[in-house]
Amino acid sequence: MSKQHTMIIGGGIVGCMTAMELINRGHRVTIVERNQIASQTSGESSWAGGGIIFPLLPWMYSEAVNTLTHNSASFYRELTQRLAQETGFSSDFAQSGFLLLPKFDLNAAQDWCKRNQVSFQPVKASAFGVASPSGDDGLWLPSVCQIRPPYLMQGLRKWLEQHNVAMLEHTQLKPLEESDELKAWQTTSGETLRADQFVVTSGAWSFDLLKETSAKLNIKPMRGQILLYKPAKNLEQMVYREGFYMIPRLDGYLLAGSTLEDVGFDNGVTEDVREELRIKAETIMPELKGEPIIKHWSGLRPGTPENLPTIGAHPTIKNLFLNTGHFRYGLTMAPASAKLVVAIMSGTLPAIDPTPYACAY
């Protein structure tokens, strides 16, 4: 019997993890990517992301968001070990912990941690050697982990190649028209691509791709900018303060970000944000003053109201599935989100209740 052929549209973290899950279930898989998979020009958001495997201030989000991030985070240690063993690529997975600095709702944070069995410890920020101008009462979350998105993407690409996933790069699909059933999809250069089923994982571009169909996706690009340092002395843990975070890498680099900008599909960087991020970074770590900014980049997140992705069948077109709109937490959510969409596609019982992620007409 020939294998089911599934075509995935978009080769960011969500598309690549969906491909991995489909391969594990015995499918034949093709990824269509308008740029290049696992390169800075593609995975527009995935390559650019910070890689904290945890939501910032999770008590501010719905249970549906937290269920997905929590389930997903639990897969990461094993996933990154498997990628390292089978491909030789390390994802720089590290349990570096997360230090939350004021101002935030300390009571709500502790209640949430208790309810969700996330270990926490009220701490003095000064004990960690960081500056905290809004108060010294912080919260330490020692179990929070990070990965390095470009490394993870390279490992995933290699794994998918080893498992014969076809990669149609520099190939862009045209916006889809409404129909009862999908058997073929046109590219912008006039080719017709056929498969048994299709999964849209096109991040911030998903709305445009499906806007002529009945799927009412509320997704728009939300730009985030990040700075990169290599300080003489680095932080030992990830730090969050008032919407801003810093992530120390295993090899001595330090990320400082990010922004939430509603500027359409402009993925440029700006001088004013560079200055704003530099000041925020130096507020937490005064010793960064005078350290050069090595790199400054941006990515376009697939922004959605309340950070709720759409995962499931298209409401009217048979053979078409959606796994998109993960906004600020797509790196965190991708493994569980891939398992959920593939369970829905194969009619098996999903581990997570899919109802909150269903697509509306």
Ligand X SMILES: Cc1cc2nc3c(=O)[nH]c(=O)nc-3n(C[C@H](O)[C@H](O)[C@H](O)COP(=O)(O)OP(=O)(O)OC[C@H]3O[C@@H](n4cnc5c(N)ncnc54)[C@H](O)[C@@H]3O)c2cc1C
Question: Which CB, 258 or 283, lies closer to ligand X?
Answer: 258
Question: Which CB, 127 or 294, lies closer to ligand X?
Answer: 294
Distance CA(319)–CA(6), nearest Å, equals 9
Q: How far is the CB of 200 from ligand X (least distance, A)?
A: 9
Cβ(115)–Cβ(109) under 8 Å? no
Distance CA(232)–CA(328), nearest Å, equals 30
Q: How far is the CB of 267 from ligand X (least distance, A)?
A: 9
Question: Which CB, 35 or 110, lies closer to ligand X?
Answer: 35
Question: Which CB, 46 or 197, lies closer to ligand X?
Answer: 46
Give 286's contacts (C-beta < 8 A, 6+ positions apart): 131
DSSP string covering 34-52: SS-TTSTTSSTTTTT---B
Distance CA(9)–CA(237), nearest Å, equals 36
Question: Which CB, 122 or 243, lies closer to ligand X?
Answer: 243
Question: Which CB, 150 or 224, lies closer to ligand X?
Answer: 224
Distance CA(145)–CA(256), nearest Å, equals 17
Q: How far is the CB of 2 from ligand X (least distance, A)?
A: 25
Cβ(90)–Cβ(101) under 8 Å? no
Q: How far is the CB of 356 from ligand X (least distance, A)?
A: 17
Binding site for ligand X (CB under 6 A): 9-15, 32-35, 42-46, 48-52, 172-173, 201-205, 209, 224, 226, 257-258, 299, 301-302, 324, 326-332
Distance CA(12)–CA(115), nearest Å, equals 33
Q: How far is the CB of 3 from ligand X (least distance, A)?
A: 23
Alpha-carbon distances of 257 from 50, 243, 278, rounded to whole Å: 8, 9, 9
Q: How far is the CB of 286 from ligand X (least distance, A)?
A: 24
* Tokens 């598309």 belong to residue: 15
Burial of 132 per CB tally in 10 Å (0-12, 13-18, 19+): buried
